[in-house]
Amino acid sequence: MPDPAASESHALLTALRQQAQHWLATRAISGDTLREALPGIWLARSGRERVPSAALYRPALGAVLQGAKQVLAGDRVIDYRAGEALLTRLPVPARGVVAAGNRSAPFIGLVIELDPPLLRDVLTQMRSAPAAREVTAFSVVSLQAAVLDCLLRLLRLADDNEDARRLLLPALQRELALRLLQGPEGAAVAALAQPPPEARRLGTALRTLQRDFRQPLDVTALAKRAGMSSSQFYRRFREATALSPLQYHKQLRLLEARRLLQQGGTSVASAAFAVGYESASQFSREYSRLFGQPPRHTVAVSRERR
Protein backbone atom coordinates (compact mmCIF):
# COMPACT_ATOMS: atom_id res chain seq x y z
CA MET A 1 0.00 0.00 0.00
CA PRO A 2 1.20 3.55 -0.69
CA ASP A 3 2.69 5.36 2.29
CA PRO A 4 0.44 8.42 2.96
CA ALA A 5 3.28 10.34 4.63
CA ALA A 6 5.63 9.72 1.68
CA SER A 7 2.92 10.71 -0.80
CA GLU A 8 2.26 13.95 1.08
CA SER A 9 5.98 14.80 1.18
CA HIS A 10 6.33 14.07 -2.54
CA ALA A 11 3.37 16.32 -3.38
CA LEU A 12 4.73 19.14 -1.22
CA LEU A 13 8.21 18.82 -2.72
CA THR A 14 6.71 19.03 -6.22
CA ALA A 15 4.69 22.13 -5.27
CA LEU A 16 7.78 23.70 -3.69
CA ARG A 17 9.86 23.09 -6.82
CA GLN A 18 7.13 24.56 -9.02
CA GLN A 19 6.87 27.63 -6.78
CA ALA A 20 10.64 28.15 -7.01
CA GLN A 21 10.50 27.88 -10.82
CA HIS A 22 7.58 30.32 -10.89
CA TRP A 23 9.42 32.86 -8.72
CA LEU A 24 12.46 32.77 -10.99
CA ALA A 25 10.42 32.85 -14.22
CA THR A 26 8.27 35.84 -13.22
CA ARG A 27 11.44 37.84 -12.63
CA ALA A 28 12.91 36.83 -16.00
CA ILE A 29 15.88 35.26 -14.22
CA SER A 30 17.58 32.84 -16.60
CA GLY A 31 20.74 30.78 -16.48
CA ASP A 32 22.68 29.84 -13.37
CA THR A 33 21.81 32.07 -10.46
CA LEU A 34 21.72 32.59 -6.71
CA ARG A 35 19.06 35.14 -5.71
CA GLU A 36 17.66 36.30 -2.39
CA ALA A 37 13.90 35.67 -2.38
CA LEU A 38 13.36 36.94 1.19
CA PRO A 39 15.80 38.23 3.82
CA GLY A 40 18.05 35.28 4.65
CA ILE A 41 16.35 32.98 2.11
CA TRP A 42 18.09 32.24 -1.18
CA LEU A 43 17.14 30.37 -4.36
CA ALA A 44 19.85 28.67 -6.41
CA ARG A 45 19.60 27.23 -9.90
CA SER A 46 22.25 25.58 -12.07
CA GLY A 47 21.79 23.95 -15.47
CA ARG A 48 25.05 22.06 -15.39
CA GLU A 49 27.29 20.06 -13.12
CA ARG A 50 30.15 22.14 -11.76
CA VAL A 51 33.63 21.82 -10.38
CA PRO A 52 33.77 22.19 -6.59
CA SER A 53 33.48 25.81 -5.43
CA ALA A 54 34.99 26.82 -2.09
CA ALA A 55 32.98 28.93 0.36
CA LEU A 56 32.53 29.51 4.08
CA TYR A 57 29.41 27.56 5.01
CA ARG A 58 27.48 29.25 7.83
CA PRO A 59 24.56 27.94 9.97
CA ALA A 60 21.82 27.24 7.45
CA LEU A 61 19.47 24.68 5.96
CA GLY A 62 20.33 23.99 2.32
CA ALA A 63 17.39 22.12 0.78
CA VAL A 64 17.55 20.44 -2.64
CA LEU A 65 14.30 20.77 -4.60
CA GLN A 66 15.60 19.19 -7.81
CA GLY A 67 18.87 17.46 -8.67
CA ALA A 68 21.66 16.65 -6.24
CA LYS A 69 24.61 18.31 -4.53
CA GLN A 70 27.84 17.25 -2.90
CA VAL A 71 29.87 19.05 -0.23
CA LEU A 72 33.54 18.27 0.37
CA ALA A 73 34.74 19.21 3.85
CA GLY A 74 38.30 18.08 4.49
CA ASP A 75 38.23 14.34 3.84
CA ARG A 76 34.44 14.12 4.29
CA VAL A 77 32.18 13.73 1.25
CA ILE A 78 28.51 14.60 1.91
CA ASP A 79 25.89 13.77 -0.72
CA TYR A 80 22.28 14.94 -0.64
CA ARG A 81 19.52 15.13 -3.22
CA ALA A 82 15.95 16.25 -3.86
CA GLY A 83 13.90 15.89 -0.68
CA GLU A 84 16.97 16.23 1.54
CA ALA A 85 18.84 19.18 3.01
CA LEU A 86 22.26 19.91 4.42
CA LEU A 87 22.11 21.24 7.97
CA THR A 88 25.19 23.36 8.71
CA ARG A 89 25.73 23.92 12.42
CA LEU A 90 29.19 25.53 12.54
CA PRO A 91 30.91 28.03 10.21
CA VAL A 92 33.23 25.80 8.16
CA PRO A 93 35.14 26.31 4.89
CA ALA A 94 34.06 23.63 2.42
CA ARG A 95 33.65 23.02 -1.31
CA GLY A 96 30.22 22.53 -2.83
CA VAL A 97 29.42 21.05 -6.22
CA VAL A 98 26.23 20.47 -8.19
CA ALA A 99 26.27 16.69 -8.68
CA ALA A 100 23.08 16.43 -10.78
CA GLY A 101 21.56 19.16 -12.90
CA ASN A 102 21.22 19.96 -16.61
CA ARG A 103 19.39 22.38 -18.89
CA SER A 104 16.20 20.31 -19.08
CA ALA A 105 16.17 19.51 -15.35
CA PRO A 106 18.33 22.11 -13.60
CA PHE A 107 19.52 21.84 -10.05
CA ILE A 108 17.25 23.92 -7.80
CA GLY A 109 18.17 24.62 -4.20
CA LEU A 110 16.73 26.67 -1.36
CA VAL A 111 19.03 28.03 1.37
CA ILE A 112 17.58 29.32 4.64
CA GLU A 113 19.93 31.01 7.08
CA LEU A 114 19.40 29.81 10.66
CA ASP A 115 19.35 32.26 13.56
CA PRO A 116 20.65 30.64 16.79
CA PRO A 117 18.93 33.20 19.11
CA LEU A 118 15.57 32.51 17.42
CA LEU A 119 16.12 28.75 17.67
CA ARG A 120 17.09 29.16 21.32
CA ASP A 121 13.95 31.19 22.10
CA VAL A 122 11.72 28.56 20.48
CA LEU A 123 13.58 25.72 22.19
CA THR A 124 13.14 27.23 25.66
CA GLN A 125 9.37 27.49 25.12
CA MET A 126 8.89 23.89 23.97
CA ARG A 127 7.35 21.48 26.48
CA SER A 128 8.94 18.49 24.73
CA ALA A 129 12.29 19.93 23.69
CA PRO A 130 15.01 17.70 22.19
CA ALA A 131 18.22 17.37 24.18
CA ALA A 132 21.20 18.86 22.36
CA ARG A 133 23.88 16.35 21.41
CA GLU A 134 27.42 16.67 20.11
CA VAL A 135 27.28 16.66 16.32
CA THR A 136 29.63 17.52 13.49
CA ALA A 137 29.36 20.72 11.46
CA PHE A 138 27.29 19.02 8.75
CA SER A 139 24.43 16.54 8.74
CA VAL A 140 21.92 15.51 6.09
CA VAL A 141 18.25 15.98 6.94
CA SER A 142 15.33 14.22 5.28
CA LEU A 143 12.72 16.93 4.71
CA GLN A 144 9.50 16.01 6.50
CA ALA A 145 6.06 17.15 5.33
CA ALA A 146 5.75 19.78 8.09
CA VAL A 147 9.07 21.39 7.05
CA LEU A 148 8.23 21.22 3.33
CA ASP A 149 4.86 22.84 3.96
CA CYS A 150 6.53 25.69 5.87
CA LEU A 151 9.14 26.17 3.11
CA LEU A 152 6.37 26.27 0.50
CA ARG A 153 4.54 29.03 2.39
CA LEU A 154 7.79 30.95 2.74
CA LEU A 155 8.35 30.89 -1.02
CA ARG A 156 4.74 31.89 -1.66
CA LEU A 157 5.26 34.78 0.73
CA ALA A 158 8.16 35.91 -1.48
CA ASP A 159 5.54 36.58 -4.20
CA ASP A 160 3.23 38.48 -1.84
CA ASN A 161 3.02 42.23 -1.17
CA GLU A 162 5.49 44.17 0.97
CA ASP A 163 3.25 44.39 4.04
CA ALA A 164 2.60 40.64 3.97
CA ARG A 165 6.31 39.88 3.67
CA ARG A 166 7.24 42.24 6.50
CA LEU A 167 4.52 41.09 8.92
CA LEU A 168 4.32 37.37 8.17
CA LEU A 169 7.99 36.45 7.65
CA PRO A 170 8.92 36.44 11.38
CA ALA A 171 6.03 34.08 12.18
CA LEU A 172 7.02 31.65 9.40
CA GLN A 173 10.66 31.74 10.45
CA ARG A 174 9.57 30.89 13.97
CA GLU A 175 7.39 28.04 12.72
CA LEU A 176 10.28 26.65 10.66
CA ALA A 177 12.48 26.70 13.77
CA LEU A 178 9.86 24.70 15.66
CA ARG A 179 9.37 22.16 12.83
CA LEU A 180 13.12 21.59 12.58
CA LEU A 181 13.44 21.12 16.34
CA GLN A 182 10.55 18.64 16.27
CA GLY A 183 12.02 16.70 13.33
CA PRO A 184 14.38 13.69 13.24
CA GLU A 185 17.44 15.99 13.41
CA GLY A 186 16.00 17.99 16.31
CA ALA A 187 18.97 17.18 18.56
CA ALA A 188 21.40 18.60 15.99
CA VAL A 189 19.27 21.75 15.61
CA ALA A 190 19.10 22.05 19.41
CA ALA A 191 22.90 21.89 19.52
CA LEU A 192 22.96 24.93 17.24
CA ALA A 193 20.59 26.76 19.58
CA GLN A 194 22.20 25.67 22.87
CA PRO A 195 25.57 24.02 22.27
CA PRO A 196 26.82 21.58 24.93
CA PRO A 197 29.67 23.05 27.06
CA GLU A 198 32.57 21.59 25.04
CA ALA A 199 30.98 22.58 21.72
CA ARG A 200 30.39 26.09 23.08
CA ARG A 201 34.08 26.42 23.99
CA LEU A 202 35.07 25.12 20.56
CA GLY A 203 32.72 27.68 18.99
CA THR A 204 34.57 30.43 20.87
CA ALA A 205 37.83 29.25 19.31
CA LEU A 206 36.26 29.20 15.86
CA ARG A 207 35.05 32.78 16.26
CA THR A 208 38.55 33.80 17.33
CA LEU A 209 39.99 32.16 14.22
CA GLN A 210 37.49 33.96 11.99
CA ARG A 211 38.32 37.30 13.59
CA ASP A 212 42.11 36.90 13.71
CA PHE A 213 42.85 34.80 10.61
CA ARG A 214 45.33 37.43 9.35
CA GLN A 215 47.53 36.73 12.38
CA PRO A 216 49.89 33.71 12.63
CA LEU A 217 48.12 30.59 13.86
CA ASP A 218 48.65 29.83 17.57
CA VAL A 219 46.99 26.48 18.30
CA THR A 220 48.20 26.49 21.92
CA ALA A 221 46.42 29.80 22.62
CA LEU A 222 43.25 28.58 20.87
CA ALA A 223 43.28 25.36 22.89
CA LYS A 224 43.69 27.35 26.10
CA ARG A 225 40.78 29.59 25.11
CA ALA A 226 38.68 26.44 24.55
CA GLY A 227 39.76 25.00 27.93
CA MET A 228 41.44 21.97 26.34
CA SER A 229 44.90 20.52 25.96
CA SER A 230 46.47 21.02 22.53
CA SER A 231 45.99 17.37 21.59
CA GLN A 232 42.37 17.31 22.78
CA PHE A 233 41.64 20.57 20.96
CA TYR A 234 43.14 19.28 17.71
CA ARG A 235 41.11 16.06 17.93
CA ARG A 236 37.81 17.79 18.74
CA PHE A 237 38.41 20.49 16.13
CA ARG A 238 38.94 17.89 13.40
CA GLU A 239 35.96 15.80 14.54
CA ALA A 240 33.68 18.84 14.36
CA THR A 241 34.92 20.51 11.17
CA ALA A 242 36.70 17.70 9.24
CA LEU A 243 39.65 20.13 9.01
CA SER A 244 42.78 20.68 11.07
CA PRO A 245 43.15 24.13 12.68
CA LEU A 246 45.88 24.90 10.11
CA GLN A 247 43.63 23.94 7.16
CA TYR A 248 40.76 26.00 8.60
CA HIS A 249 43.03 29.02 9.13
CA LYS A 250 44.53 28.77 5.64
CA GLN A 251 41.17 28.46 3.90
CA LEU A 252 39.78 31.49 5.73
CA ARG A 253 42.74 33.50 4.42
CA LEU A 254 42.29 32.26 0.87
CA LEU A 255 38.54 32.90 0.83
CA GLU A 256 39.09 36.48 1.96
CA ALA A 257 41.83 36.94 -0.64
CA ARG A 258 39.47 35.73 -3.37
CA ARG A 259 36.86 38.23 -2.19
CA LEU A 260 39.41 41.05 -2.43
CA LEU A 261 40.50 40.00 -5.92
CA GLN A 262 36.89 39.68 -7.12
CA GLN A 263 36.18 43.23 -5.95
CA GLY A 264 38.88 44.49 -8.30
CA GLY A 265 41.59 47.07 -7.83
CA THR A 266 43.81 44.69 -5.80
CA SER A 267 46.96 43.01 -7.09
CA VAL A 268 47.76 39.38 -6.34
CA ALA A 269 50.66 40.37 -4.07
CA SER A 270 48.56 42.97 -2.22
CA ALA A 271 45.79 40.41 -1.59
CA ALA A 272 48.34 37.89 -0.32
CA PHE A 273 49.87 40.33 2.16
CA ALA A 274 46.45 41.69 3.20
CA VAL A 275 45.35 38.27 4.48
CA GLY A 276 48.62 37.49 6.27
CA TYR A 277 50.84 35.71 3.74
CA GLU A 278 54.51 36.66 3.72
CA SER A 279 55.25 34.96 0.40
CA ALA A 280 53.25 35.79 -2.76
CA SER A 281 54.50 32.62 -4.47
CA GLN A 282 53.31 30.41 -1.60
CA PHE A 283 49.99 32.25 -1.68
CA SER A 284 49.61 31.59 -5.44
CA ARG A 285 50.34 27.88 -5.00
CA GLU A 286 47.83 27.43 -2.18
CA TYR A 287 45.21 29.58 -3.93
CA SER A 288 45.48 27.46 -7.09
CA ARG A 289 45.23 24.27 -5.06
CA LEU A 290 42.01 25.37 -3.33
CA PHE A 291 40.21 27.12 -6.19
CA GLY A 292 41.57 25.21 -9.20
CA GLN A 293 42.71 28.45 -10.85
CA PRO A 294 45.65 30.81 -10.12
CA PRO A 295 44.81 34.14 -8.49
CA ARG A 296 45.68 36.03 -11.70
CA HIS A 297 42.73 34.24 -13.36
CA THR A 298 40.39 35.72 -10.72
CA VAL A 299 41.87 39.15 -11.41
CA ALA A 300 41.32 38.74 -15.18
CA VAL A 301 37.68 37.64 -14.72
CA SER A 302 37.08 40.58 -12.37
CA ARG A 303 38.39 43.02 -14.98
CA GLU A 304 36.18 41.53 -17.71
CA ARG A 305 33.05 42.01 -15.58
CA ARG A 306 33.73 45.68 -14.84
Q: Cβ neighbours of residue 148 under 8 Å, at least 6 residues apart?
A: 9, 12, 13, 16
Higher-pLDDT residue of 126 and 199 is: 126
Q: Tell me the pLDDT tens digit for each residue of 220-275.
A: 999 998 999 999 999 999 999 999 999 999 999 999 999 999 998 899 999 999 99
Q: Tell me the pLDDT tens digit for each residue of 10-64.
A: 999 999 999 999 999 998 877 889 999 999 999 999 998 777 889 999 999 999 9
CB 53 within 8 A of CB 96: yes
**pLDDT exceeding 90 applies to what percent of the chain?**
80
pLDDT of the residue at 16: 97
Return d(Cα 158, Cα 273) in angstroms, integer. 42
At 306, the pLDDT band (50, 70, 90 cuts) reads low
Q: Tell me the pLDDT tens digit for each residue of 59-105.
A: 999 999 999 999 999 889 999 999 999 999 999 999 999 999 998 99
Return d(Cα 269, Cα 19) in angstroms, integer. 46
pLDDT of the residue at 49: 77
pLDDT of the residue at 2: 61
pLDDT of the residue at 48: 85
Mean pLDDT within 120-138: 89
